[in-house]
């Protein structure tokens, strides 16, 4: 049931990503990684993602992810944490996730540093930016973000591979575009100015706004509803 629907929606999503790339002269739509956000959906959604050839799934709640992770066995998928991560969940999160998109405070970054050190490993993260300025959103304000990225990049066991943002829920294209553009500009400044910042991923765009995000330079889009339907 999940697979049939996903194969249809995936074809549509891929076409829309390609068209967005074309509009701005981006030559390689394959360079946009699709993170299939499976939060709120049971294990068969993850299995369908794998069967449809997707490689990355996104979860936003540690406890829900853990339940699926334990049931799943090795699906051969990369798991990404896309939601707000509480510090007391870092221990549980680290063994599951290949990439944490949502580092939104120095204290969280330091906790990841500490727990990664204990395990003798490095953890790859993105720094979350609140580029819309909404009070309800997690992430660093654009004005202070490059200082924060600088500090987080100094941690030994944390690799900063880019930035993530969430746009406001709105249909106003100008508002969405501005949010993504500010994040992209910050990404470029970090790439130029911070030696340890590895400018690989710009995670922006959800079901409501992913085409605009791709036009503004996203390298990762996080799609739930567009792929699996309403939660």
* Integer angstrom CA distances of residue 167 from 56, 115, 123: 21, 30, 25
If one asks whether residue 163 binds ligand PLP (CB under 6 A), the answer comes out as no
Q: Near ligand PLP by CB under 6 A, which window of 8-16, 65-73, 108-116, 223-231?
A: 223-231
Lookup: tokens for 186: 């910050």
Do residues 152 and 158 touch, judged by C-beta distance below 8 A?
yes
Q: Count CB neighbours of 18 within 10 A.
A: 16
Q: What is the DSSP letter of 165?
A: E
Choices 72-80, 136-144, 146-154, 200-208; region in contact with ligand PLP by CB under 6 A: 200-208
Residue in 68, 137, 184, 222 binding ligand PLP, rule: CB under 6 A: 222
The yes or no reply on residue 201 touching ligand PLP (CB under 6 A) is: no
Q: Which of residues 43-102 bind ligand PLP (CB under 6 A)?
A: 60, 82-83
Smallest distance, Å, CB 195 to ligand PLP? 28
Q: Which is nearer to ligand PLP, 66 or 157 (CB)?
A: 66
Which one of residues 37, 145, 176, 212 is an interface residue with ligand PLP (CB under 6 A)? 37
Between 173-193 and 142-153, two packed helices, what is the crossing angle to 10 degrees? 40
Q: According to the binding rule CB under 6 A, does residue 226 interact with ligand PLP?
A: yes
User: Is residue 162 close enough to count as binding ligand PLP by CB under 6 A?
Assistant: no
How many other C-beta atoms can be found within 10 angstroms of the C-beta atom of residue 191? 14
- Which window, 17-25, 45-53, 145-153, 220-228, contacts ligand PLP (CB under 6 A)? 220-228
Which of 176, 206, 214, 220 touches ligand PLP (CB under 6 A)? Answer: 206
Query: Cβ(49)–Cβ(6) under 8 Å?
Result: yes
- Long-range contact pairs involving 167-175 (C-beta distance under 8 Å, separation at least 24): 167/131, 167/132, 167/204, 167/206, 167/208, 167/209, 167/213, 168/132, 168/134, 168/137, 169/208, 171/208, 173/212, 175/132
Give residues in contact with ligand PLP (CB under 6 A): 37, 39, 60, 82-83, 166, 206-208, 222-226
């Amino acid at each position: 049931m999940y697979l049939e629907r996903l194969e249809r929606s995936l074809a549509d999503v891929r076409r829309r990503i390609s068209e967005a790339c074309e509009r701005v002269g981006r030559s390689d739509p394959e360079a946009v990684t699709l993170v299939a956000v499976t939060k709120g959906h049971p294990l068969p959604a993850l299995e369908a993602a794998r069967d449809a050839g997707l490689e990355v799934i996104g979860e936003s709640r540690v406890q829900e992810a853990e339940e699926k992770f334990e049931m799943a066995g090795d699906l051969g998928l990369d798991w990404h944490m896309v939601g707000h991560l509480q510090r007391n969940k870092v221990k549980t999160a680290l063994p599951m996730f290949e990439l944490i998109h949502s580092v939104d405070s120095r204290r969280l970054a330091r906790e990841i540093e500490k727990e990664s050190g204990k395990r003798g490993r490095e953890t790859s993260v993105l720094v979350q930016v609140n580029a819309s300025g909404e009070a309800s959103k997690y992430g660093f304000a654009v004005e202070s973000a490059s200082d924060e990225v600088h500090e987080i990049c100094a941690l030994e066991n944390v690799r900063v591979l880019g930035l993530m943002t969430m746009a406001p829920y709105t249909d106003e294209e100008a508002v969405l575009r501005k949010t993504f553009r500010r994040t992209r500009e910050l990404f470029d400044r970090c790439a130029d100015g911070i030696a340890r910042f590895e400018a690989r991923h710009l995670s922006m765009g959800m079901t409501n706004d992913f085409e605009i995000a791709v036009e503004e330079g996203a390298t990762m889009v996080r799609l739930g509803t567009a792929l699996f339907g309403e939660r």
